Amino acid sequence: MSSRIYFIICIFISLFQQITAQSYELLSPANIRKFADHLYKQEDYLRSIEEYKKLENYLSSDTLLVRISFAEIKMGHYNEADKIISIMSKSLRYTGITDFLSLRNNFLRINHTKQSYNNEYKWDRTSVNMNLWSPDVQESFNRLDFFRELANFPRKDLLERINIFTPEERDTINTLLIMNLDPPLKSPLIAGGLSSIIPGLGKVYADRPEEGIISLILTATCVYISYTNFEAKHLFRGWFFGGLSAMFYVSNIYGTVKATEQYNLGVKIGINNIVETFLQARDYYSPTSLLEMVR
């Protein structure tokens, strides 16, 4: 008798499960969340954000808001990320995660868009109350803030803050600091001056020796031809080649200045890329609690 009862109960429950499965919705909150997480892991950030925003509770879920802000930052939408960060819960704010996210967003915006450091993005450390934060979050914040300062105002007193990094990293960070303080730039004024004395010399200074040699040959040859034509009393040809040499001379100086500016830009971009690579390898020093929310 008891066997039959058990059997009947099993059949009934199994049938009930099948029936409820048939009313299973593709767009149920659980399914939307699963799909959104899948898109996020596939790095299809635009679609994952759209899916997360379909969930009714996304505004009250810190994990979702953190993921959305990360996705916006990955796509370079820094303003949208700021808006998402600003609506995160107070509980997240007390832990310092929100401040860290803001700092990270700020740093990436400055580094990637090269927007000038104006009052809109000014970071006021005195408004940040770190006492309630865990040591992990405090450490992460201080480390990333160091790089934010390095990107905006590289200065010698940052050396005093190197102790917040691990001993293994200090040498590398010291090198990065020195690179930012004293990048190997070249002066456009010196380059232009050198080219005005000897055509092409400024280009050699700007690390373009082949162009410098060509400039020198062209200008010198035109000058010589102009001189010999004047000597041979061919006034028109003399003035023609004289004009040509003047044109080469002026364009050589202009070209030298531009070449130097391009060289300097290349150096700055190179330094930025080194810093970026260093930070990416360390997840921008994101605290463990934050990384768990986005993985």
CB 248, min distance to another protein, A? 10
Cα-based distances in Å from 295 to 55, 64, 70, 108, 292: 19, 11, 11, 20, 5
Backbone φ, ψ for residue 228 (5° rounding): -70, -30
Nearer to another protein, 17 or 174 (CB): 17
Q: How many helices (H) and strands (E) are present in the chain, helices listed first?
A: 14, 0
Question: Can residue 18 be called a binding residue for another protein (CB under 8 A)?
Answer: yes
Give residues 237-276 in contact with another protein (rule: CB under 8 A).
Answer: 237
Nearer to another protein, 20 or 277 (CB): 20
Taking the mean position of all CA atoms in its chain, how far away is CA 50? 24
Contact 264, 186 (CB under 8 A): yes
User: Which range binds another protein by CB under 8 A, 158-166, 176-184, 215-223, 260-268?
Assistant: 215-223
Q: Which amino acid is at 102?
A: S
Question: Can residue 6 be called a binding residue for another protein (CB under 8 A)?
Answer: yes
Other Cβ atoms closer than 10 A to 156: 9
Nearer to another protein, 9 or 185 (CB): 9
Taking the mean position of all CA atoms in its chain, how far away is CA 224? 52
User: Which range binds another protein by CB under 8 A, 20-28, 114-122, 169-177, 252-260?
Assistant: 20-28
Question: Can residue 235 be called a binding residue for another protein (CB under 8 A)?
Answer: no
Give residues 48-87 in contact with another protein (rule: CB under 8 A).
Answer: 50-51
Q: Considering just the CA atoms, what is the radius of gyration of the chain in Å?
A: 32
Nearer to another protein, 24 or 122 (CB): 24
Binding residues (CB under 8 A) for another protein: these are 2-3, 6-7, 9-10, 13-14, 17-18, 20-22, 24-26, 31, 34-35, 38-39, 44, 47, 50-51, 218, 221-222, 224-225, 228-229, 232, 237
